[in-house]
Structure 1
Amino acid sequence: MELFLIHESIGQTTKYNLKNVPDGEYILEVENDQKIRIQTMSLHDGILQSKAISTIYKPNIKVNNQFLDMNLMTQGKSAEVMIKNEEGKVMITEKIENEVSVTRRFNIKKLDHGNYYLEVHMAGQTFINDFEK
Structure 2
Amino acid sequence: MAIDLRDPGASYVSFWRERHMCTLTTHRPDGSPHVVPVGVTYDPDGGARGVARVITNKHSRKVANVLAAGSDGARVAVCQVAAGRWATLEGLAVVRTEPDVVADAVARYAERYGRTPTPNPDRVVIEITLTRAMGRA
TM-score by shorter chain over 0.5: no
Higher relative contact order (CA 8 A, sep 6+): 2
Structure whose alpha-carbon radius of gyration is higher = 1
Structure with a larger share of its residues in helix: 2
Structure with a larger share of its residues in strand: 1
TM-score (norm 2): 0.33
TM-score (norm 1): 0.34
